[in-house]
Amino acid sequence: MAVAWIFCSLVTLFWAAIGIVVPIFLPKRPNRGVFQLALILTAVTCWLFWLITYMTQMNPLIGPKLNKLTLLAVAQQWVRNHNKICH
């Protein structure tokens, strides 16, 4: 679980740098504000898109559809692994 928080923090820091630090160092031009706003909006939307995608993979709402034979095989394997771990 700690690795997930480290990864999330690194990605967040990356997009924060793109959205906060990079716009500060843009050269002075007539359209500097437009470029700054474009960078900030790009960073926010890319980070939000990544976050939503990452979170939906953590706890999916729809699982794989398995037939009865596959479900029985999975259940049997889980019981074997559980018995090996607990005993």
Q: What angle do CA 2, 5, 57 make, to 5 degrees?
A: 105
- For residue 72, give both structure tokens: 């029985």
pLDDT at 84: 67
What's the total number of domains in the chain?
A: 1
**Structure pTM?**
0.67
Segments in the chain below pLDDT 50: none
39 and 23 Cβ atoms separated by less than 8 Å: yes
Give CA–CA dist 41/39, Å, rounded. Answer: 6
40 and 23 Cβ atoms separated by less than 8 Å: yes
Q: What angle do CA 76, 59, 41 make, to 5 degrees?
A: 155
pLDDT at 25: 94
pLDDT at 62: 80
The residue segments making up the domain with residue 62 are 2-86
pLDDT at 1: 59
